[in-house]
Amino acid sequence: MKPTPHLSPLTAATLATAVEAHRRARRVVLGHFFFFLVCCIAALLLRRAFKFPPQLTWVLLAVFGLVFSADLARLAYHNYKLQRLRAASAEV
């Protein structure tokens, strides 16, 4: 089986770099998730205090999806890349 031309030669440094990038992206997404939870709690408290409509929570969810979708996509890409590199290293 010929290696695909778009893959760089598999080395320990390549795999270590991919693992570190995946960990960094996962840390960022987890930080965003905890920030989202804090914002949801604050929105629920504000909604009760000021009698805002229930749609405030849905707006918060939509804004979260729009603002942090690039970081979620980056995590998915690094996950895919890491799985591909691990599979390539297992074949060797």
48: left (phi over 0), alpha (psi -120 to 50) or beta: alpha
Residue range 45-73: average pLDDT? 88
8 A C-beta contact, residue 46 and residue 52 = yes
Question: What is the structure's pLDDT at 28?
Answer: 96
With CA atoms as reference, report the closest residue to 71 among 32, 19, 23: 32
Whether this prediction's pTM lies above 0.85 is answered by: no
Find, among 90, 68, 86, 69, the residue nearest to 22 by Cα. Answer: 86
User: Three-state secondary structure along 51-89?
Assistant: CCCCHHHHHHHHHHHHHHHHHHHHHHHHHHHHHHHHHHH
Better-scored residue on pLDDT, 88 or 19:
19
In this predicted model, what pLDDT tens digit does every residue of 1-41 receive, in sequence order? Answer: 555 555 556 678 888 899 999 999 999 999 999 999 998 89
As given in the structure block, the two tokens for residue 90 are 């297992």
Residue 5 has what DSSP assignment? T
The mean pLDDT value for 44-66 works out to 87
